[in-house]
Chains A and B, each alone.
Chain A
């Protein structure tokens, strides 16, 4: 299994440009999430999905869109990039935690985004 994959690894954008960060998982996980990590901060949830066709907002959703047309893929779209969106973006997936299950989210390697 490849686990959770993210592309690209690095990206530089100019203010106002749009782009899509790709995330895919091959573990048949129900849950997928996007986080951003800024220096000195923990991870903050942007959007999440509990299954194909179902998405919802996290703590910091403004400026980002998501969709989940398949179980495997969960792309994150930046509509009009701003310098405040300079960050490291992580995608994660997991099974629903059930009694006795191991739990825990699997994280991708991250995308380092700089907006000039």
Chain B
């Protein structure tokens, strides 16, 4: 089964710094999505980028997608302690009309005050 792989597995930064997480995947996709999970909670959808898009912004989030390298990055600018969470990428296979997503193992982000 296809699964995204996030890199790094863990990231520790100070408040105000930028956090960059990367995701690589294996096959052609319809879209790639990023989710956040706070400890002990369900996942929350952050942003979706389609295969024909290269960059997308939402507030302090910036996502890029390079389909030739089968990779994506999530940038959180001016991070806050409240951004501490696990971040997952998820992909939907090209041609899929079923909404099936394949998740990576996640990056654990810790932002120190």
Contact = CB atoms under 8 A, between A and B. Distances in A.
Q: Is B one of A's binding partners? A: yes
Interface residue tally of chain B, by bracket? 20 to 34
B22 interface: no
A81 B51 CA distance: 40
A75 interface: no
Contact of B99 (A31, A40, A44, A59): A31
Contacts of B88: 42-43
A98 B37 CA distance: 25
Contacts, number: 67
A43 B103 contact: yes
Nearest to B101: A105
Contacts of B97: 96
Interface residues of A, number: 30
A53 to B, nearest CB: 15
B30 interface: yes
Interface of A: 4, 30-31, 33, 35, 40-45, 48, 50, 56, 58-59, 90, 92, 94, 96-97, 102-110
9 contacts: A41-B105, A42-B104, A42-B106, A43-B43, A103-B45, A107-B35, A107-B44, A110-B41, A110-B42
Given A102-B48, A106-B45, 17 more contacts: A30-B99, A35-B103, A42-B88, A42-B103, A42-B106, A43-B43, A43-B88, A43-B103, A44-B103, A48-B100, A50-B98, A50-B99, A94-B99, A97-B31, A97-B92, A103-B48, A110-B41
Interface of B: 1, 3-4, 30-31, 33, 35, 41-45, 48, 88, 90, 92, 97-106
